[in-house]
Amino acid sequence: MATLYLTEQGSTLRKTSRRLIVEKENEVLLEVPEFKIERVLIFGNVQLTTQAIAFLLANGIETSFLSVRGRLKGKLSPLESKNVFLRVKQYEKAKDEEFRLDLSRTIVERKIKNGKTLLLRYARSHPEVDIDKSIREINRCLRALPRKERISTVMGIEGQAGAAYFKAFGKMFRKELRFERRTRRPPRDPINALLSLGYTMITNEILSMVSAIGFDPYIGFFHGISYGRPSLALDIVEEFRHPIVDTLTLNLVNNSVLKEKDFVAEKGGYFLTDEARKKYFVYYEKKLTGEFTLHNTDTKVTFRRSFDIQAHKMEKTLMEEEAYKPFAMG
C-alpha cells in the first residue's frame, strides 16, 4: 500500500508501535504497517497526532492536505533538499528566454501528440466515431508549432489543439455521462469533475517528486511564474494528462464504474460523492502502479516511476544541457 488515502471525516491518524492506525470514535478503521507507506493524502477533516507527524517527517513521507473535493491546500514535507546548485541553475534558466521557448515547444508538441495518439487509438476500435476534423486541426497545430517564436504564441497553439482534442474527446463517451467542453473551478459536469480531480492528483505527485530532487517547484519554464502556482510541476504534468487522467476517465465512465448517481451538484459544480471518491482512488492507484512498456523501448515501468524518470530528465536538461524528452504515449 504505497499511498494511504484518508477520507473518513472526523477520523484521526495515530502512530503506535510499528503501525499507523486510523481511528474514529475509539473504533479502529484501518491498521497499516509503517514500512508500507510512501505517501499520505488527507481529504477534509482528518486529524494527525504529533507522534504521527514526527514519524511522517522522520521517514520522508510526503503528506498532502486536500479539501474534500480534492483541491490541494498544503503539504507536510521533510526538510528541503540540499541540492542548492540545481536551484541556482533553475533560476538562471528561468531567465533564459531561448531555453524557455525551446523547452515550451518540446512540451507542447508532446502533449499534442499524446492527445492525438489517444484519439486515434479510440477511433481504430470505434470507426463509427468521426474525429477526422479534429485530427486535421491537430495536425495543422503541429505543423505551425515550430514557427512560433514566443511562449505566448506557443500557448495559443496549445489552446487551439486542446479545443480540437476535447471536441473529439467528447464523442468518445458511450454511456449516460456526456462531455461538451472543458470547464474548471468549478467543473460544470461529471466528466469535468473527474478530469479536474485527476489533474490535481498527478500535479500533487509530480510536485512532490520535483521538490524531493531539489527543484523549486514554483519556477517553471512553459508555465511562467505566478503567485502560488507550482509552475515546474505543471510543466511536467502536461505530458501525462492524456495518457493517465483522460484514459482513466474514459474507462471509468464507459465501463460504468462511475455513473450519474455517483456525483452531486454543489455550488455551481459537480463533484464525486464520498463513496464514489473512495472507488475512484482505487482505480487511480491501479492506473499509477500498473506496469507497461515505455514507448519504443523494452523497459517496463509504472506511471508513478515515470514521474520520477521525467523529473530526473529535467534535472539533466538543466545541469548537463541534455535535450529534454517528454513522456511519449505508446
**Fold topology of 3-76:** Ribosomal Protein L15; Chain: K; domain 2 (3.100.10)
pLDDT number for residue 5:
84
pLDDT number for residue 17:
79
Q: What are phi and psi of 293, to 5 degrees?
A: -95, 130
Give the Cα separation of 170 and 172 in Å (integer). Answer: 5
Give the Cα separation of 287 and 107 in Å (integer). Answer: 23
Ligand-binding annotation for 126, yes or no, is: no
CB atoms under 10 Å from CB of 236, counted, come to 29
Element (DSSP H or E) covering residue 206: helix 190-213
Give the Cα separation of 303 and 292 in Å (integer). Answer: 8
| pTM, 2 dp | 0.86
pLDDT number for residue 206:
93
* Dihedral over Cα of 180, 185, 186, 187: its sign: positive
- Name the β-bridge partners of 54: none
The strand ranges marked E within the chain are: 3-6, 12-16, 19-24, 27-33, 39-43, 47-48, 62-66, 72-76, 263-266, 269-272, 292-293, 300-301
Q: What are phi and psi of 133, to 5 degrees?
A: -60, -40
Q: What residue ranges do the domains of the chain occupy?
A: 3-76, 84-319
Domain 84-319 top-level CATH class: mainly alpha
Residue 197 · residue 270 · CB < 8 Å: no
CA distances from 111 to 313, 324, 327 (A): 17, 14, 9
* Dihedral over Cα of 22, 28, 32, 33: its sign: positive
Ligand-binding annotation for 291, yes or no, is: no
pLDDT digit string (tens) for the chain, length 330 residues: 578 888 888 899 988 877 888 888 888 888 888 777 888 888 888 899 999 888 888 887 878 888 877 777 877 876 666 788 999 999 999 999 999 999 999 999 999 999 999 999 999 999 999 999 999 999 999 999 999 999 999 999 999 999 999 999 999 998 888 888 898 888 999 999 999 999 999 998 999 889 888 899 999 999 988 888 899 999 999 999 999 999 999 999 999 999 999 999 988 899 999 899 999 999 999 999 999 988 878 889 999 999 999 999 999 999 999 999 999 997
Q: Which three cell numbers stand for residue 313?
A: 530528465
CA distances from 126 to 119, 174, 175, 246 (A): 10, 11, 14, 17
Q: Is the peptide bond before 78 cis (omega within 30 degrees of 0)?
A: no
Q: What are phi and psi of 329, to 5 degrees?
A: -75, 125
Give the Cα separation of 161 and 183 in Å (integer). Answer: 16
Ligand-binding annotation for 238, yes or no, is: yes
